[in-house]
Amino acid sequence: MIDPELSARFEELDAARAFGDLSPEEHAEWTRLQEEQGFTPDVELDLLVAGLTTSLGNLDAKPSDQLLQRLEAQTVRFMPLAAETSKPVEAEVIPFWRHPALGWAAAACFALVLFVSSEESPTEPSLTDQRQALLSEQQTVQLSFAGTENFSGLEGDVVWTDDGQTGFMRFNGLPANDPTAAQYQLWIVDPERDERPVDGGVFDIPAGQEEAIVPIRATLPVNRPVAFVITVEKPGGVVVSKQEIVAAIAQRG
């Protein structure tokens, strides 16, 4: 039996949530009413507020040319990376969905960084050479990847430079994925920048390859990454990972 007074109170708090102005005390009450009374948030209110914002607002500010350039550069990075690979071997595509959920070892929250396409012009050095060159730079850090339980055969490392905001991941034994079923996604953990890890975008490991090198070129600044975490996600990746399958972690000591 629904108590009409409590229901009305929840609706009002839910409207406040849609406006984005719940106080901490009101939020506690909103949560308690959900738990105790079984009320559910009305997501239509969010759509209504968004509609009012876009329909009534004077939303004609122009983004800077610099931002538009960043956004356009980002579009080419949405496509999954094709890793540079070598030494074809017989390999089986691993059905990730059969792996049990694994714990998340690294930090707190999420934001967004995307990989740059790995397409190379004929004159561009190979990823192997680029990685080697980066390794020779003084400020470059090199961290080893440790595979989690179901990825224990994995070896690899990440090389990264804070100054250059670029890096490479190298994998041996990371199972090939079927991109229509699941894709790998990189998360860069940088507590100095944000409590949420930066989404490093998705990438694929083709079947029949032994070693794969995947470039990292963050489009959002990362101050000082303390860990690089590889998860397995649905095709296209996710905005916020549930961290159900963690494949590998590389951490600063």
Partner 1 sequence: MVPRSETDPSVEEILPRVARREPQAMKQCIDQFGGLVWSITRRYVRPDTEAEDVVQETFAELWQKADRFDAARASASTFIGLVARRRSIDWLRRKQRRPELEPLPDDFDQKLGASTDPLPRIDTESLHAALQELPTEVRELFELHFTGGLTHPEIAERTGLALGTVKTRLRRGLLTMRALMARANPEPVSS
Identify the residue among 4, 5, 35, 57 touching partner 1 (CB under 8 A): 57
Best CA proximity match to 156, nearest among 236, 242, 232, 229: 229
Identify the residue among 111, 141, 181, 226 touching partner 1 (CB under 8 A): 111
Q: Does 18 bind partner 1 (CB under 8 A)?
A: yes
Which region among 104-112, 163-171, 174-182, 203-211 touches partner 1 (by CB under 8 A)?
Answer: 104-112
Site for partner 1 in 131-190 (CB under 8 A): none
Identify the residue among 116, 155, 196, 206 touching partner 1 (CB under 8 A): 196
* Distance between CA atoms of residues 68 and 89, nearest Å: 43
Site for partner 1 in 223-242 (CB under 8 A): 236-240
Query: Quick one: 36 or 44, whose CB is closer to partner 1?
Result: 44
Identify the residue among 51, 88, 95, 208 touching partner 1 (CB under 8 A): 51
Structure tokens at 247: 């494949």
Best CA proximity match to 151, nearest among 246, 251, 250: 246
Q: Does 97 bind partner 1 (CB under 8 A)?
A: no
Q: What is the CA 53 to chain-centroid distance, rounded?
A: 28
CA pseudo-torsion sign 14, 20, 22, 28: positive
Best CA proximity match to 184, nearest among 169, 163, 166, 165: 169
| β-pair type (211-217, 166-172) | antiparallel
Q: Which residues bind partner 1 (CB under 8 A)?
A: 11-12, 15-22, 24, 27, 31, 41-64, 67-68, 70-72, 74-75, 78, 109, 111-112, 114, 194-196, 199, 219-220, 236-240
